[in-house]
């Protein structure tokens, strides 16, 4: 578990990292005491409680934010209804132009937004830049597709004319996770606004900084109250938002257990939901797979964003004919990754988001060892050069029972579990033997095998010979306990509207 006593590839010494991050925070963070954004203004919370926002790379404070309460939620929802009245007067072409201007502002400030996410989340700067590119692209996509939102005429009986309209809910809510702070906010913001709604956003308490910055940069483009941002804890602010009787729809991304709680809270008002929850996604490597491609796909699937990704490919099924060659190459690839300062261009893995998440990942590695697993590489980061942050080495495990907790439960850390397979049907049974169904990956040169496996896998998103590509327009969502509804596509736009049917009696008109 010590990489055969080879030194870790670390991007810089911690003294230099601390200094770099301190200077970046001084440059990028506008206010170390954040406020709520309600009705177009930055205001204090009704609550006297505050959240501490910590840099996971250096374990030092970045800022503090208000811990909003039910009274703050009430103010935000009331403001959003006023914002909806104004935003609702914009015709589709005006909404399109406005979303395009937001995208322009994002692109003009892309490096600033990416660096803020690095400080707040710990993701490598190269990945943060990709996130921001997708943020701008999703605003542009929904600015275009919103003009395709149409009703239809339905054939009726004699003397009847039946037509439908698509109408916005009015005010919707978005609850955002910490692993992709700005991108996940955009997955809610862009379609909600495109459909004509106003929105109340609750960022994760750990990572509100890039969402706050977006409103500083582009909030003036929207009528006051159209977008409102409240920070706070889930059980207090999040729950008050979900339970509010004037919220028409809630879009939530997060853990399964929290999602179940959201469903229960939304039930009282029969509030519409989109839920994108956890995953434990399989990657299947067929015997004809190019080993280099398979290693690249598996590395991207597992170690992207330090494994803190709902669709991470955490269960790797490799055919017996190529298992040894693949495993040797994959372990070498994991050991070649550079961990350390996420502001460094050379870093592949940054820290996990909190010390709690790091400890959780290390606990699962221990559980795997207790279950008889062999750790081929990685484990807790014991190198003293990384002791300031929440680092875990890229970890590869084999010989673990498929029913064990490390296989069945979402870890949200850089831990890959390997399985060898020989019979297709047995492999598919094991790949599907999980409560989740968010994503899966297939590596093969045979399109027939690829289509067969994609049809047989119980997952909402299947990647073939690639992984973690999210072009706007590609529906994203899960099967089973991985959630319901789809994001990032035209059907997402429809999910932020309701159908109204109008039936005319022409004989009496």
The β-bridge partners of 463 are 441
Per-residue pLDDT tens for 123-178?
A: 999 999 999 999 999 999 999 999 999 999 998 888 899 999 999 999 999 999 99
Are residues 311 and 229 part of one domain? no
Q: For the whole prediction, is pTM greater than 0.85?
A: yes
Are residues 294 and 270 part of one domain? no
Question: Comparing C-alpha atoms, which of 454, 384, 452, 377 is closest to residue 417?
Answer: 377
Are residues 266 and 308 part of one domain? no
Tell me what pLDDT residue 357 has: 96
Are residues 195 and 288 part of one domain? no
Per-residue pLDDT tens for 277-306?
A: 999 999 999 999 999 999 999 999 999 999
Q: Which residue pairs, CB below 8 angstroms and at least 24 apart, start in 23-28?
A: 24/115, 24/118, 24/119, 24/343, 25/55, 25/62, 25/119, 28/112, 28/115, 28/116, 28/119, 28/213
Q: How far is the C-alpha of 235 from the C-alpha of 498, rounded, in Å?
A: 29
Q: How far is the C-alpha of 429 from the C-alpha of 98, rounded, in Å?
A: 48
Give the confidence band of 10 by pLDDT, cuts at 50, 70, 90. Answer: confident
Are residues 382 and 242 part of one domain? no
- Please check whether residue 26 lies inside any domain of the structure: no
Are residues 283 and 261 part of one domain? no
Largest alpha-carbon pair distance within the chain?
Answer: 88
Per-residue pLDDT tens for 384-432?
A: 778 789 999 999 999 999 999 999 999 999 999 999 999 999 999 999 9
Kindly name the residue from 205, 213, 276, 335 that is annotated as catalytic: 276
Per-residue pLDDT tens for 447-456?
A: 999 999 999 9
Question: Comparing C-alpha atoms, which of 265, 189, 192, 261 is closest to residue 229?
Answer: 189
Q: For this structure, is 309 an active site residue? A: no
Tell me what pLDDT residue 6 has: 59
Are residues 187 and 100 part of one domain? yes
Q: Is 275 exposed, middle or buried (0-12, 13-18, 19+ CB in 10 A)?
A: buried
Provide the 8-state DSSP code for 8. P
Are residues 264 and 284 part of one domain? no
- Structural domain harbouring 85: 36-277+485-498
Kindly name the residue from 310, 335, 393, 398 that is annotated as catalytic: 310
Are residues 316 and 367 part of one domain? yes
Are residues 255 and 108 part of one domain? yes
- The CATH number for 337's domain is 3.40.309.10
Are residues 304 and 267 part of one domain? no
pLDDT more than 70, % of the chain: 98
- Please check whether residue 141 lies inside any domain of the structure: yes
Q: How far is the C-alpha of 394 from the C-alpha of 380, rounded, in Å?
A: 9
- The CATH number for 111's domain is 3.40.605.10
- The whole-number average pLDDT for the span 361-378 is 95
Q: For this structure, is 306 an active site residue? A: no
Number of domains making up the chain: 2
- 163: number of Cβ within 10 Å: 14
Tell me what pLDDT residue 4 has: 46
- Please check whether residue 504 lies inside any domain of the structure: no
- Please check whether residue 27 lies inside any domain of the structure: no
Are residues 385 and 257 part of one domain? no
């Amino acid at each position: 578990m010590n990489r055969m006593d080879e030194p870790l590839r670390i991007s810089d010494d911690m003294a230099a990292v601390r200094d770099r991050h301190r200077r970046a925070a001084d440059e990028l963070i506008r206010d170390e005491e954040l406020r709520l954004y309600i009705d177009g203004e930055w205001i204090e919370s009704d609550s006297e409680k505050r959240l501490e926002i910590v840099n996971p790379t250096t374990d030092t404070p970045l800022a503090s934010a208000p811990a909003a309460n039910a009274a703050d939620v009430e103010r935000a929802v009331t403001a959003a209804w006023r914002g909806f009245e104004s935003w609702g007067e914009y015709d589709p072409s005006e909404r399109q132009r406005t979303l395009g201007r937001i995208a322009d502002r994002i692109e003009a400030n892309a490096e600033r937004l990416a660096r803020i996410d690095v400080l707040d989340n710990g993701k490598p700067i190269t990945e943060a830049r990709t996130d921001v590119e997708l943020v701008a692209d999703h605003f542009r996509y929904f600015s275009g597709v919103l003009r395709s939102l149409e009703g239809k005429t339905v054939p009726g009986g004699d003397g009847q004319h039946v037509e439908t309209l698509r109408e916005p809910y009015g005010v919707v809510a978005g609850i955002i996770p910490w692993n992709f702070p700005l991108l996940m906010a955009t997955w809610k913001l862009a379609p909600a606004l495109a459909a004509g709604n106003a929105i109340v956003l609750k960022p994760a308490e750990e990572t509100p900084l890039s969402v706050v910055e977006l409103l500083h940069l582009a909030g003036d483009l929207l009528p006051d109250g159209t977008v409102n941002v409240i920070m706070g804890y889930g059980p207090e602010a999040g729950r008050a938002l979900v339970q509010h009787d004037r919220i028409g729809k809630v879009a939530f991304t997060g853990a399964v257990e929290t999602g179940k709680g959201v469903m229960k809270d939304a039930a009282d008002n029969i509030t519409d939901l989109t839920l994108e929850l956890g995953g434990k996604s399989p990657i299947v490597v067929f015997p004809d797979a190019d080993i280099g491609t398979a290693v690249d796909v598996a590395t991207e699937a597992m170690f992207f964003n330090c494994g803190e990704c709902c669709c991470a490919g955490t269960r790797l099924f490799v055919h017996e004919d190529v298992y040894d060659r693949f495993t040797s190459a994959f372990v070498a690839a994991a050991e070649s990754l550079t961990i350390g300062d996420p502001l460094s261009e050379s870093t592949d893995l940054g820290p996990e988001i909190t010390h709690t998440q790091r400890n959780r990942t290390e606990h699962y590695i221990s559980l795997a060892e207790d279950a008889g697993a062999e750790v081929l590489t990685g484990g807790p980061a014991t190198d003293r050069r990384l002791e300031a942050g929440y680092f875990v080495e890229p970890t590869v495990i084999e010989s673990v029972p498929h029913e064990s907790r490390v296989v069945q439960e979402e870890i949200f850390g850089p831990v890959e579990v390997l399985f060898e397979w020989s019979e297709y049907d047995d492999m598919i049974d094991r790949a599907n033997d999980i409560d989740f169904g968010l994503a899966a990956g297939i590596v093969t040169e045979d399109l027939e095998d690829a289509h067969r496996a994609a049809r047989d896998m119980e997952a909402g998103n299947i990647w073939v010979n690639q992984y973690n590509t999210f072009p706007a327009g590609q529906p994203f969502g899960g099967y089973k306990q991985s959630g319901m509804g789809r994001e990032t596509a035209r059907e997402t736009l429809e999910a932020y509207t309701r159908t109204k049917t109008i039936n005319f009696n022409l004989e009496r008109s």
